[in-house]
Structure 1
Amino acid sequence: MNCNKFLMISVLLGELCSAQNYFELSNVSQNFNVVVNVEACFENKCSGKTTVDLYDKNTMKKYQTFFSNDFYLDLNENQKPKFDSLKNSVVFDDFNFDGAEDIAIRNGNSKYENPFYEVYLNDAAKQQLILNDELTNLVRSNSGMFKADAERRRIVTYLKEGCCWNLTSEYIFVPERELLKVLEFEEDTRDPEKVKTVKREFIDYKWFAKTTIYPRERYFKENENTERN
């Protein structure tokens, strides 16, 4: 990183630029500048215990500090964080669709060896980002970070086992109840000649399931045409 630039900002913020393990992440959030201090950097990556500091872009004051025991960043040839790696290590989005920016911070891997995140929701009353156990556990039990579908106001998770079985699940936020699962789509391609799908939907307080068997060649051809369109 540009230590001189960081030093100028650090003086304003009351911080010190002391090592190349400090990185300023200024383009990952609408409201915050982010400074991470990673425990160890070797060659083209940084990992280990990390502090993540958020600074309000308007006031330049520190807003909040987070801790990760197992953070990770890929570096480019200039020893700066790669943008794709950056987006995958500190994720900003409106996860509960209330209009406020939330954050997910990488902290190791889930049991399926996918990146694990701790998810914090913006609490307007407390003016803090608060750890949300339900969304954090959702990451832990699936294959990586979920997707926040703002248009449909749904949280979408993906679970993959081996090469040939996938499960997509969708959740909505219910007032005073948090998350409610409303859809599952299971795709099983283990059979060499056919594909089995099961769609389960929660409608009017009941689950309805539809199982469909496709010839393998037809299924993948239809999916390919759908993706192109």
Structure 2
Amino acid sequence: MTLPRGISAIAFAIAVLPAAAHAASFDCAAARSSIEHAICNDAQLSALDTQLADTYRAALKQHGADTDALKAEQRDWLKQRAPSGQIDVAALKEAYRTRIDELKSQPAFPEPGEAVDGPIFRLNAIAKQHDFVLRMLEACPAQSDKEDTTCEGPAQLLIHDKGQRAVRQVINLPKVFVTLPKGSKGPLVNSSRLYDYQGVINVGDFNFDGQEDFGIQTGNEGSYGGPSYDIYLFNAQAQRFVPNSEMTGLIQETLGFFEVDAKNKRLRTWAKSGCCYHERTVYAVEHDVPVAVERRIDDAQGPGDKMKVTVETLVNGKWRSKVHYEPIPK
């Protein structure tokens, strides 16, 4: 992956080569970008760059064998620091401090065979190609017969090929949100009902390549306090699941888990603004990236008993719109 030159060379090296023995530094005589000059010209910012490197390496050690998600997260953070104009040094310092605090808050994860303090959920019936074991690192409330309960905290996900004892992959998760439905024997899974609790793991073929993918609920930081998920796609070449930031962001910006239309090879999302404005968007998936191709907008914010309906379609790379009016649904 090529990152913009605006990111310091050493920061990129840290993200890609976490085992480097040297602290974050680079030759200021060779600085070219505005962000590199900003780091070189400010002693406090330079010290934060060094501190970030040290904190990142320490967090990697705490993740043990699984560092994929943390590396991807750090690369995304670095890309967001790419300058689009003049550098705001104060804002950059604050971004560094925030990221350092985030990395320091990363929990220490056990080895897969070590005991954990929380429940262990063996999920062998939610997928056709894989079995999952979700290990909560901390204790959860007891499951109730009278009401739904929830559990939130760090977790470790073990992934097996279907029916096999050997662990294919370990994924360490700083935060997972689990819904424990009343009267059930395990967590809610493969559920994406709008405005309701959703599955801690939802399995499906999200990029339509014939391989199972999955999303795991990391909290409720989505639109209108809805669920947020990390999406993992199975990479056939690497033979492992890899995080997908584009699909993760898609859920973050809309209402809950997207709908998977396997027949038409499309993903669908819902979004709204208040009571009277709704969007339904359809996405094709190109090279594992969702690309909007259709959108319907229902706008009942105006006066009268009609709502404005706009249907947008992507045709040969250009959006075409048609507008009509419908009665406002009761």
Tell me which interval the TM-score lies in, with the shorter structure as reference length.
0.7 to 0.9
Counterpart selection for 1:134 from 220, 232, 246? 246
1:224: which partner in 2? none
* Contact in 2 for aligned 1:68/1:105 (Cα 8 Å): no
1:211: which partner in 2? 323
1:62: which partner in 2? 167
SS at match of 1:88: coil
Q: Which of 61-70 and 92-101 deviates more? A: 61-70
Change (3 A) 1:116 1:193: same
SS at match of 2:140: strand
Structure with higher strand content: 1
Structure 2: distance between partners of 1:26 and 1:42? 23
1:42: which partner in 2? 141
Structure 2: distance between partners of 1:41 and 1:85? 21
1:12-161 equivalent positions in 2, closer than 5 A: 15=113, 21-38=119-136, 39-43=138-142, 44-76=149-181, 80-83=185-188, 88-112=199-223, 113-161=225-273
Structure 2: distance between partners of 1:52 and 1:159? 30
Structure with higher helix content: 2
Deviation of residue 52 (structure 1)?
1.2
* Contact in 2 for aligned 1:69/1:108 (Cα 8 Å): no
Change (3 A) 1:40 1:188: farther
* Contact in 1 for aligned 2:299/2:307 (Cα 8 Å): yes
Deviation of residue 59 (structure 1)?
2.7
Amino acid at match of 1:30: K
SS at match of 1:42: coil
Amino acid at match of 1:94: D
2:296: which partner in 1? 185
User: Which structure would you say has the larger Rg?
Assistant: 2
Structure 1: 4+ residue segments shifted above 6 A:
none
SS at match of 2:284: strand
The TM-score with structure 2 as length reference comes to 0.56
Change (3 A) 1:138 1:36: same
Change (3 A) 1:53 1:162: same
Q: Which of 96-105 and 178-187 deviates more? A: 178-187
List gaps (5 residues or longer) in structure 1: 1-13, 222-229
Structure 2: distance between partners of 1:183 and 1:194? 22
Structure 2: distance between partners of 1:18 and 1:169? 41
* Contact in 2 for aligned 1:157/1:170 (Cα 8 Å): yes
Structure 2: distance between partners of 1:148 and 1:156? 7
Structure 2: distance between partners of 1:30 and 1:85? 13
List gaps (5 residues or longer) in structure 2: 1-111, 143-148, 192-197
Structure 2: distance between partners of 1:19 and 1:78? 23
SS at match of 1:212: strand
Q: Provide the aligned C-alpha RMSD in A.
A: 2.4
**Any idea what the Cα deviations from partners look like across 1:111-161, whole Å, max 9, x if unmatched?**
421111111111111100111111111111111111111111111111122
User: Percent of counterpart pairs with the same letter?
Assistant: 26
